[in-house]
Amino acid sequence: MTTHQAAKRAATGALTGLALGDALGFPTEFHDVPSILAKYGPWRTAELPTTRGVAYVTDDTQMTLALARALRTALGRGPLTPLRLVRPLREEYVDWYRSPENNRAPGRTCLVACQSLTTDLPWQDASQIHSKGCGANMRVAPLGLVPGLGDEERAGAAQLQAALTHGHPTALAASDLTAHAVRLLAQGVDPAGLVGRLR
């Protein structure tokens, strides 16, 4: 298996797992562990939520795929740079915002920022600079799966994709750290040692 095939296989597995995890987790969002266990039982025996026989696709999964498509577009044009990434990222986020499939109770920060991205405002003015929520962090996994990116490229792109919607430094740092964690796991780091490596 070539390096490219291995990277593609890892990305496919990671994104499929992310989508399934989102589908399993969406009915339990905002509930504490005791109430989740009382209602749904252990996660290994939980039923996969479906809509018309298909696993439920969350807004988090939709935004993750939007980032993945933007990365594919940007990298198809050459090395990953901020200018090369901003345009397809903005287009993907706006397409998501306008989509009739955007009916999965997305977070207010994403909605407000993406609505602003539909205008002629610079993306920096659309960013919700007081928002340090997890909306930017939950979609960043594709950046940890792109082969050949240097640490600075990955960190910068992770923070940039966050900043289009969630501009607080905490949101930027969380996205950067998560992209790094995904990269380490894709390289085969033992999950049990991940926290130590990240520290």
93-134 tens-digit pLDDT: 999 999 999 888 888 999 999 999 999 999 999 999 999 878
Q: From CA 114, how far away is CA 198, in angstroms rounded? A: 31
Q: Is the dihedral of CA 131, 68, 97, 29 positive or negative?
A: negative
26-85 pLDDT per residue, tens: 888 889 999 988 988 887 887 888 878 888 889 999 999 999 999 999 999 999 999 999
**What is the rounded distance in angstroms from the CA atom of residue 133 to the CA atom of residue 185?**
24
Superfamily covering domain 57-190? ADP-ribosylation/Crystallin J1 (1.10.4080.10)
- pTM of model > 0.85: yes
Tell me the domain boundaries of the chain: 57-190
